Structures are given as structure tokens and as C-alpha cells.
Chain A
Amino acid sequence: MSLVEKVISHALKLGADEVHVVYRRSKSSSVEIEMNEISRTTFAVKDSLRVAVIVGKKIAMASVSEVTLDSALQCAEKAYRMALALKPNEHWEGLPEPKPITRVGGLYDKRVAELEADEIVEMGKSMLDAARSVSDKVSIMGASVSCSTSTVEMASSRGFHEAEDYTSFSAGAVAVAREGPLVGSFAAEEDASRSLDVDVEEIARKASQKALDSLHLKPAPSFKGTLILDYEFAALLLTALSSAYNGYVVWRGSSPLAGKVGERIASENLTVIDDGTLTGGLGSTSFDGEGSPTMRSTIIEKGVLKTYINNTFTARILGMQPTGNAADIISVAPSNTIVEPGDWSVEEILSDVKRGLLVSRFSGMIRFQDGIVSGTAKQAFYIEDGVKKYPVRECMITGNLYEFVKNISALSRERRRTPFRVITPVVRIENVSFVGKQ
């Protein structure tokens, strides 16, 4: 019997009705850059086990690091004792029955697993060199290159027992430019993947160029016009929208999309897919956090809301089917959020704009509960008659998320993966209010 099976058997003997165990092990290495220098190189070993014990409808969880048979069994006992002391979760209808799992490809890259410390340090060095090559006005405030390998083993008292290996490779940089007394805005750039296809130098160059571009800013006018969301900002908007179609949030009454399945909630330009089976996707796994198979679901099709994302717990409450989006046995999370591309080039999207703002970073809030969007545009360009005029400072964007998605007028053909696990084109939205200081 394996360790996780022993834990399940132990908890059942204590009197648990159901048990769910997740055992995670990982090793990671990274090189970190601070103050324009390689600041340190790190290596980490992680080893943790989480046990969920259900007694009737009472649910408790316990977790432990430094997993040994003794510590794992004690962990199960703790969870069991805690469950006894709690009140039942009246909505609980049991763990899911095991279903066949289809293996998703591209989740493990041997080359990432075999990276040596020296190689990662070299990558860190090349990031610094790339940043310096852009301008000596730019400083790298923080940057890192990291790689990790992990194994997730999951089992339940319903007979589910699977394990999967993953790798991840990521790099990011935050740059600041300075010219005499003038200090620009933070400029960040990052990318992450399950394999080695991340261009670390390009990340450093882009962050540096963005930092440099945000040195000489002009105040923007106040106007009503077009907002063009660069990939990163588009991903942020989509992340807020994904909270609103999260079945858990819907059940809780915190989503304005509650009761709107089948209704038109966005422009017909917008089609959004949640795909946990995307080959090599950073949000991809073969089974989700409760052990259900992951899948590809169309959430919004040509502006019409088709479904919410669910785990077994929320699907039962909402009378829907699970979509393989369990973060764990209770919570729900998106996997890979994919926005279908449009048929415009990025240049065409801009050339059609009378007055607008092209924004790559947004500092503010997008509140899915009431849709309030309010914040400042960072690394933003003022556009007039299709021409990028000048980078702006302190321009506030205000509006409502649910109006924004209805007013999407164009999407680019080009798409990019972002570290938010969102794959998105450039998005253009009409009728947005901008408050500048001009």
C-alpha cells in the first residue's frame, strides 16, 4: 500500500466517511537579480501532504510538510478530530466518483528538469546584458529565472488514485528608468511555460524598453473614446471576467452573471474558452484538484454565456455538470482561459481609432462583483487619427467591466500567452471615459 492509501485507510478506520489526499513534492532552482546584480541563486525542496476528511457532511482539512508515514497519519487524525468539532456543510453531497483520465501532453519537459544551476545563472546574466544593451538609464529592480519539477499524487476513498509530473519554467523582470531627477514607472514583463520556450533576453529587453518609454510622459486629455488593451491588460480584464463565471462565485450570489446562462452578455466578437487539456498549457493538468478529468468548455460563444466553470460540489448545487475546474474539493478556478482571435492585425486595430488610448499596464481595480473599473493607465500611448502620438501619465480609466465586454469592437489575429494563464489577442473597446490632467 502506498503512503496516500495508508492515510486513507487510517482515516476511514478512525470513522471518516470520505477522505481525499493530495501529496505534492517539488524541487526548484532560480537565479534572482536585484539592484542590477545577480543577487542570489536558490534551490528549494518542498514536500507536503493535504488530507481532507469528511464525517457526514462535516469537512476538515489538515496539511503537513516533511511527509513521513507518521506525520501523514497524524495529519489525518488532526483533520478527523477537527471535522468532529465542526458543523455540517449542508450543501455537501460527497466526493466525485472516479472517471477515466486522458493524459494531457506537454506537461513535463525533460530539458527543464535537467537544467543545472550554472545554466540558470547564465540566463540571468544574459537578462542583465540584454537590459543594459537597451539603455544605461535603465535599472533592473528585480528579475528572476526559475525552473521547477513537481509531482502531484492524489487519491480518494472513492477509489481515485493518480499521479502526474509537471515542469515549469518562468522568467520575469521589473525595470525602472532614471534620467537625472526624473524617475519613470515600473515596467514589468514576464513569461512562463512548461517547457524551455521562454525568451529570457527578450523579456529583459521589453521591460527595459517599456521603462524607457515611460520616462518622458505627457499629461493626457480627458475624453470619451477607444481603449485598446494590449495583451497584458486584456488578460487582466479576462481574469476579472473569469471570476464572474466561476460557479462557486455564482452560487454565492456575488456574480452579476448569475441566472444569465443563454443570455447575451458580451459583444458577439467575444468567444472565451476554458481549456484544461491544452497541450503544454501552464493551467493544464490531466485531472483537476478533486480528481475529475479536465476538459475544454466554451464559456462565452459569440457573446452568449454558455456555462459557468464548476467542480462537482458547485455543479451539484447549480444543477450543472462539472467542467474539470476544481481548485480543490470546494473551490473552483479557471484552467487556461483562451480568447478566440479576431481578424484584425494590431496595426489595423490602431489605424481605425479616432481618439483613444493604447494601454499595456493598468494600475487599479476591476471589481467583478459590481463591474467597477477604475484606475490609472501605465505604459499607455495616446492615439489620434490612427497614429500613436505620445506616452501619457496619470490618465484614469473609468467604466464598467460588463459594459466594456459589450463594447468590444475588434480583436487581433495575433494572440499571446500571458503568465495569468490567459491566451488573448489585443482587444479594442469603444465608449470608454478617460480622465487626464491636461
Chain B
Amino acid sequence: MNIDLLHKAVEEACRLGASYADVRLEEGEWTSINVRMGSVERATLSRRRGAGVRVLVEGAWGFSSTEIVTRDALMEAVKSAVKMARSSAPARRRKVKLADTKVVKDRVRAKVKENPSTVEPGEKARLALDLDKLACSYGDVVKDVSIRYLDENSRRTFVSSEGAEVIVEYVRVYLVSYVTAGEAGVLSPAYEAMGGVKGYEIFRGEEPYNMVRTTAERAIRLLKAGMPKGGLSTVVLDNKLLALIVHEAFGHCAEADMVLTGDVLTGKIGQKIASELVTIVDDPLPEYANGWTPYDDEGVKARRVTIVEKGVLREYMQSRETAAELGMEPTGNARAQDYSYAPIVRMRNTYMLPGDWKPEEIIEETREGFYLKGAMGGQADANGDFMFSVQEAWRIEGGELREAYRGVTVSGNALEVLSSVDVVGEDLKIGFPGTCGKWQLVPVDGGGPHIRCKIIVGGAR
């Protein structure tokens, strides 16, 4: 597609009365291979292309997307976006304003060693089959295995009526393993994932095999595990569970659109909201992380947002619209799932900065409590209340790990939990690729060190 056509589209929008217009063209190829118990159950190659046109007319947004990207179809999309905006303009009480941003022309490409598009599908399927075989090799106790391989090569071209022209090329790979172990009528599921903005090279070594071993061994180990006694407990959280709490329970409340609606962080900039050991950032980097965002989907050069610094709330994550509304500056957090969605405020890679304890010291220095590892989803609320399922829990007694538990959940309030943090580890780890769903799905990442805090531990009985 000729980029001039995108410029013509935004010119046409302005000619039709738009005060601002942008077009995002996205094209890409995706491979997905699912292997289950010895057979390739599903292998799919997808090629997708589409464009989204966003226009501001009389202070109201109109958005139109099309999967047919001919010149005529694009101009038709422009017309319908303008029509859509006009129809909603009279209904808006506050007119949309956009905070200023530097108009950029740039092209950025994900830096990976081995682009997965150069690897034959047969080889990808063989890798998944080998991993499946490894999981099945644990014997009859393994009841179900699923290995999912995914890769992406895509390009987003952003053009605006202000003259911006930004092209970002993404390469992503993922590998996910699910193992269900079963014995005496008890089934125990476990899962692990790896990947991000990386190339096929990450699958060349032992890492995928180690991941599958971890998954299978956990599923089997937890078959015999019991359920813990619930209640408010001292807990040591591993990097992965912390990543989920920081993103899901806390991070969403610091998204400016949520703040404007009214959530638990509204109006609290400059206030102490967490332990002074806590510093949390949302970062467009590192380059290998799943949420890598050099420019957001409004063409804004993304920068690191220090949400909490030593326990004090410093910044929210912003789009151009929310930044104008709050009198702050855009941060490059406006992201869209794809061309068929308009961008909204989203996280990228959200993590807690490290302290100075070794993770094993944290456990040694804990008299009584739980060591909680990994997460299997959960939910959070506008008031910071959350509930997550934990993959694996170990009881700590006298600084040592005792028995393991399964079916454990944790709940609490993000601000109360972050205020209770009394030890922060030195082992910062980022690289827990995930997909965040807030009306739309976008790739995100997160992390942090091991920490100690207080949380409500619950378990089924």
C-alpha cells in the first residue's frame, strides 16, 4: 500500500470537515500451531490487512474501519467516519481536545535475531510435537497436554493530518504449555508461557523444554496437595504473581480514562498510597518485552511513566485526549487491538523496581506465612479490590518451605497490599507475556522482584 494514499485519506477527511484525522494501516501474518497428545490438532496461517480511520469533527470522534483496503474503500471509510462523528457531535457535552505532541516521521523495527517467518511451519510443528512428547513422557498420570506455538510479523503505519508518519514493525513469538495431571479422580491443571518481542532463537535452546518440565512437574506435584487454611497472611510473592497484581489490581486504576471516570487513584497525585519501598513504572521498554511500544497508536513517542515513586503517586498513563482533559502530557499509552479499534489508554510493560534482598533471604527471614508462585488469572475492581488464582503455594514455617497447596486464591485491596510491603527483592524480572483485555486485547508484559506483604489467602475445601 502506498503511504501517499493514507495521506490522501486524512486530507479528504479534513476536506469533509474534520479538524483532525488519522489513519492506521495494519498488515501482518500470524502462525498458530496447537499440538495435543501426539498430534497436530490445528495449524493456522492467517494473513490480515485493514485500515482504521479516526476523525474529529465538531469536537466528537468518528471511527471507521475496513478490511478492504482499496482506494475507493478507504475513501468510503473516511466518509463514514466523518458521518459517524457528525451524528454524535450534538450529544457530546465536553468537546474532545488533544494535547500537543511532537509530530514525528520515523520507522522502527523490532530487533530479533531469527525472524520466525524464515522458519518452515514443519519445523515449528516439530518443536511443539517434541515438547508435547516430553510432557507425555511423565507417564499415565498426565491426562492432557496442549502445546501452543504462535508467531506474528506485522506492520502498523500511522499517518495523521498533523503530518505524522510512523511505521512500526513488530515480531512476536510465544509458546504456551498446558498439562493436566490426574489420579484417583483428582485433576490438576498447570500452565506456563514464554515469549514476547523476540525471534525464533529463544526456542533453539533448552528454555522451552525447561518450561514444559516445570509445567508437567507442577501439575503432578499438586495432585497430592491439599487446600490451605484461609485468612490474612504474611506472604512472599514471586515475580510472576507480583506482575499480575501490579498490572491488574493497581495498574488499571492509574490509566487516565479510569481516573477520569473516578477510581481509587483519582485526585491522589502527590499522596502516599503505598509503602516507601514501592516504586512502580509502566515502560515502553525493554525491547524484548511483549508490550514493547516505541510509538503508541496516536503516533506519540512513548516514554516511561513513573506511577508510584517510593510510595507516592506521581503520574497517570495518558492518551492525547485524557492528557488535554487533565492538563497533563501524553505518555504514549494510547493503544488499539488492531485497525478495527480506536486507541484507548492501555498499559505496556508494568513492573515494580527492585530492592536489595536476595529472594532466598526473604523466605529465610519469614517465620510463618506462604510463598505464592505464579498466577492463573483473576479479576480486579475500580476500588482496587482484587482476586487472583495462584498456581502454587508453599507454607513457610521458621524460614523454610514446608508443604505445597493447590487451588489457592489471593484477594485483597491493591493499595492495602502495596502499603503492607515490608521487603523488596533484588531480582527484577520482566518477561511474563500476557494479553490484557479492557474492551480490546493488547499484548502487555510485566514483572518485578520477589516481595513480602500481607494478603488474604483463600482456598477451596
- B-side interface residues toward A, CB under 8 Å? 36-50, 54, 60-69, 73, 77, 80-81, 83-85, 87-88, 91-94, 120-122, 125, 129, 143-144, 180, 182, 185-189, 230, 257-258, 260-264, 266, 325, 340, 342, 344, 376-379, 381-385, 387, 389, 407, 409, 411, 439, 456, 458-461
Contacts and interface: CB of A to CB of B under 8 A. Distances in A.
A40 B341 CA distance: 11
Given A38-B92, A117-B87, A369 B189 contact: yes
Contact of A178 (B43, B262, B381, B411): B262
Contacts of A130: none
29 contacts: A35-B257, A35-B261, A43-B64, A45-B77, A46-B340, A59-B40, A59-B43, A60-B44, A62-B45, A66-B67, A66-B69, A78-B45, A86-B125, A90-B39, A124-B88, A124-B91, A178-B266, A186-B381, A252-B143, A365-B376, A367-B407, A369-B188, A369-B189, A374-B407, A393-B385, A396-B230, A398-B230, A398-B458, A398-B460
Interface in A70-94: 71, 75, 78-79, 81-83, 85-91
A89 B381 contact: no
Contacts of B92: 37-38
A48 B30 CA distance: 14
Contacts of B459: 374, 398
Contacts of A65: 47-50, 67
A363 interface: yes
A41 B63 contact: yes
Given A124-B91, A253-B143, A40 B342 contact: yes
Contacts of A370: 186-189, 407
B153 to A, nearest CB: 14
A176 B258 CA distance: 10
A308 B129 CA distance: 28
Nearest to B223: A370
Given A35-B261, A396-B230, A89 B69 contact: no
Contact of A183 (B68, B125, B382): B382
Contacts of B260: 35
A82 B143 CA distance: 28
Given A185-B385, A378-B381, A44 B340 contact: yes
Most buried by A among B39, B77, B92, B263: B39
B42 A252 contact: no
Contact of A254 (B64, B180, B411): B180
Contact of A253 (B41, B182, B381): B182
A173 B376 CA distance: 27
A45 B40 contact: no
Contacts of A400: 460
Nearest to B380: A363
Given A59-B40, A176-B382, A372-B407, 13 more contacts: A40-B88, A60-B45, A60-B121, A66-B67, A86-B40, A87-B40, A117-B83, A117-B84, A183-B262, A185-B385, A186-B381, A254-B180, A370-B407
Interface in A16-36: 29, 31, 34-36
A133 interface: no
A396 B382 contact: no
Contacts of A125: 91
* 9 closest A-B pairs by CB: A85-B122, A40-B61, A253-B143, A41-B84, A183-B383, A363-B379, A42-B63, A65-B67, A61-B44
B257 A87 contact: no
Interface of A: 29, 31, 34-48, 58-66, 71, 75, 78-79, 81-83, 85-91, 117-118, 121, 124-125, 139-142, 176, 178, 183-186, 252-254, 256, 330, 363-365, 367, 369-370, 372-376, 378, 393-394, 396, 398-400, 433, 435
A22 B60 CA distance: 37
B460 A85 contact: no
A316 B162 CA distance: 60
Most buried by B among A47, A60, A90, A124: A60
A143 B52 CA distance: 21
A33 B91 CA distance: 11
A433 B458 CA distance: 12
Contacts of B121: 60, 81-82, 85-86
A183 B385 CA distance: 10
Contacts of A378: 381
Contacts of B60: 38, 40-41
A59 B34 CA distance: 11
A304 to B, nearest CB: 19
A42 B342 contact: yes
Nearest to B43: A60
A64 B158 CA distance: 22
Contacts of B83: 117
Nearest to A90: B39
B261 A176 contact: yes
Nearest to B377: A365
A400 B40 CA distance: 33
B64 A61 contact: no
Contacts of A374: 389, 407, 409, 458-460
A330 B41 CA distance: 8
A44 B383 contact: no
A213 to B, nearest CB: 14
A45 B381 contact: no
Contacts of B125: 85-87
A91 B92 CA distance: 57
A185 B381 contact: yes
B46 A64 contact: yes
A184 B383 contact: yes
Given A38-B60, A139-B262, A372 B460 contact: yes
Nearest to A78: B45
Nearest to A178: B262
Contact of B40 (A89, A117, A142, A375): A89
A29 B67 CA distance: 15
A91 B456 CA distance: 46
Contacts of B85: 40-41
Contacts of B389: 364-365, 367, 374
Contact of A365 (B264, B381, B409): B409
Contacts of B68: 45, 47, 66
